[in-house]
Structure 1
Amino acid sequence: MAEHRMVDVNGIRLHVAEQGAGPLVVLLHGFPESWHSWRHQFGPLADAGFRVVAPDQRGYGRSDRPDDVGAYTILHLVGDVVGLIHALGEEKAYVVGHDWGAPVAWHTALLRPDMVLAVAGLSVPPPFRGPEPPLTAMDRKFGGRFYWNYFDRPGVADAEFGRDVRTTLRKFFHFGSGAAHSSGEAGQPLVDLERGWLADMPDPEVLPAWFTEEDLDALTESFSQGFTGALNWYRNLDRNWELTAAWQDAPVTRPALYVYGDRDLVPAFPGTPELIANLPALMPSLWREPLELPGCGHWTQQERPDEVNAALVEFLKACP
């Protein structure tokens, strides 16, 4: 059973869940999630001999949520991971991330390879900086309808998602699941700018077996203070592009694992299928070919915990 506490990190307080003893594994959640998204990983990783720690990242759950939008850059997020490792009394850790947590994990390995024993990303592949700022690129391609651009509008998505938090989360988790999409589906997550993103999202009568009403209760509680902190991560996408200019074309050099579902919309984003296909050539540190999970949607470690756990344990044990 995971134990919970608050930790002072990088000038803020983070809530963390912790279980096990051994080499440190830091698990980083995505949007719209919390430490709870790793509930299926705690036991198996702890049983395999690891100390497992999953924070509510800044802006989420019981952790601090700074008011300044500029306090959510990739450098702040990597700084939180670095500070957390040190606050836990360690010098190095394995770092694993899903969704937004994956870019944080990848960038921690990119910027601080001295502290990362190995890195794994679920859903979002390793970062290779594009030729133009991402919000600018998606605005040009989709006329402002791509969800990143919608999230960038101050207060708009915050208000839409906050009107009925439980319904928002129920819709999101159905929309991103493998059950909601067909394999190879190439549709993009576009928003009706007048009606909002939730308007046309189906509201499922029954939740999938891997996401219970109790799970939804826990997640709803974690967003009781709203979505603004979490959305502020997206509002720094172009700023992150500017801040990481010095790492243009730099690959992650630490041992790396990438896992994704074939029904996840993220790996179908513009340019991403080509990136995934070229990863073995772009990243010599890749442990093996990207692991594709048939029938799996966006919520990788929740939808397919057994396969993800087996892959993580094998990978982490192979990277002492």
Structure 2
Amino acid sequence: MAFPEPYYVKTNGIDMAVYEQGPKDGVPVVLCHGFPELAYSWRHQLPALAKAGFRVIAPDQRGYGNTVGPKGPEAVPLYDMKHLTDDLAGMLDALGLEKAIFAGHDWGGIVVWQMALRHPDRVSGVIGVNTPFMPRSPIDPIEGMRAVFGEDMYIVFFQKYGEADALLDKDVARSMRFWYRKSGMTLAEFDARPASEKNLAFLKGFAADESLWPGKVLLNEEELAYYTAAFRKSGFTGGINWYRNFSRNWKDSEGLVEKVSVPSLMISAADDIVLRPSMADGMERFVPDLEKHVIPECGHWTQAEQPEALNRLMTDWLKRRFG
């Protein structure tokens, strides 16, 4: 089945591109992507969940793909968590929906867990794909990452406005081939490497010859062309701006009650070196109604690396809890 064409809804000051499959009267499931992803990143999940009877809604989120976000350095605060979650609440308003189940991968996972805290009346369930619920850090997260990993760690490097953006914008197809790779090693193999090779300085490797990049290319020609066209249109700045709000989100979340009071599913990937399965340990303290699974032989890009396993886990849980 071809990936659907978008329609647009007005929400929170932007025109959001929305891609949808499934019956209009089905229980709504909203799929939220991460970096550098798109609604298209859920291309294997939309038809599977629609076939199971759910109304599946996947937006290009603020600053990505066909959803144009505000531009310029002064617009960085407009990509904070309040805006990202208000965008989704406004999307539900535009679609005439009271509530939805929210599923998110990577940054989208952070957003959907925050939806349950910031807009609890709009959320009937949460699915975290790779991304667990993460309680508020006792210190500014950027300062913590800088202290542990150094300046070259990719999230710390992203804080410098325009630098990573220009690097990735220069050759978008190459950038897509760089990010979208199957995990080149297991988590145990990564952990056995010297500390100097575990500082998550991904963009230092970007400068190397492509033949030296670890892992195998994940995208076929059609998929690479889709991502490349989308990021040539949008650039990378909007997506990277989400990272530039880590400290602002941390300050803004002070006093927020950290309790997810809806049925939740956590699906980890065994070999994701950034969002490792152990990060979900103890989630039950904040998410009491929680079911957890780990997909073996899977790196970071779960929707594309192990689509059948992910579809099976999501569909089974959705049918049991909301069917």
| Contact persistence 1:183–1:295 (CA under 8 A) | no
1:103 to 85, 110, 115: 110
Deviations 1:226-283 (A, max 9, x none): 11111100000000001111226x1222111111211111234xxx73x422223442
Cα distance change of structure 1 residues 197 and 133 upon mapping to structure 2, 3 Å threshold: farther
Cα distance change of structure 1 residues 169 and 3 upon mapping to structure 2, 3 Å threshold: closer
Q: What corresponds to 1:236 in structure 2?
A: 245
Q: What corresponds to 2:274 in structure 1?
A: 266
Task: Give me the identity figure in percent.
Answer: 39
Structure 2 matches for 1:1-320, cutoff 5 A? Answer: 1=2, 2-21=4-23, 22-67=26-71, 68-174=75-181, 177-178=182-183, 180-184=184-188, 185-186=190-191, 188=198, 190-191=200-201, 196-200=204-208, 202-203=210-211, 211-224=219-232, 225-247=234-256, 250-268=258-276, 273=278, 275-286=279-290, 288=291, 290-320=292-322
Q: Distance in 2 between matches of 1:136 and 1:72?
A: 20
| 2:255 aligned counterpart, secondary structure | helix
Q: Which runs of 5 or more structure 2 residues have no equivalent in the other structure?
A: 192-196
| Residue identity matched to 1:88 | L
Cα distance change of structure 1 residues 201 and 263 upon mapping to structure 2, 3 Å threshold: farther
Q: Distance in 2 between matches of 1:101 and 1:201?
A: 31
| Contact persistence 1:261–1:298 (CA under 8 A) | yes
| Contact persistence 1:106–1:252 (CA under 8 A) | yes
Aligned CA-pair RMSD: 2.2
Cα distance change of structure 1 residues 13 and 131 upon mapping to structure 2, 3 Å threshold: same
Cα distance change of structure 1 residues 188 and 102 upon mapping to structure 2, 3 Å threshold: farther
Q: Distance in 1 between matches of 2:205 and 2:215?
A: 20
Matched residues, number: 308
- Give the CA deviation at 1:206: 12
Q: Distance in 1 between matches of 2:205 and 2:69?
A: 24
Cα distance change of structure 1 residues 226 and 240 upon mapping to structure 2, 3 Å threshold: same
Q: Distance in 2 between matches of 1:160 and 1:141?
A: 24
Deviations 1:108-154 (A, max 9, x none): 01211211111001111112111011111111122222211101111
Q: Distance in 2 between matches of 1:306 and 1:201?
A: 33
| Contact persistence 1:123–1:266 (CA under 8 A) | no
TM-score under structure 2 normalisation?
0.89
| 1:66 aligned counterpart, secondary structure | coil
TM-score under structure 1 normalisation?
0.90
Q: Distance in 2 between matches of 1:200 and 1:313?
A: 40
| 1:266 aligned counterpart, secondary structure | coil
| 1:190 aligned counterpart, secondary structure | coil
Deviations 1:151-198 (A, max 9, x none): 111111011111111001101112xx23x1223333645328xx8451
Q: What corresponds to 2:194 in structure 1?
A: none
Q: Distance in 2 between matches of 1:43 and 1:35?
A: 13
Deviations 1:42-93 (A, max 9, x none): 1111111111111110110011121200100011000011111111111000
| Contact persistence 1:91–1:115 (CA under 8 A) | yes
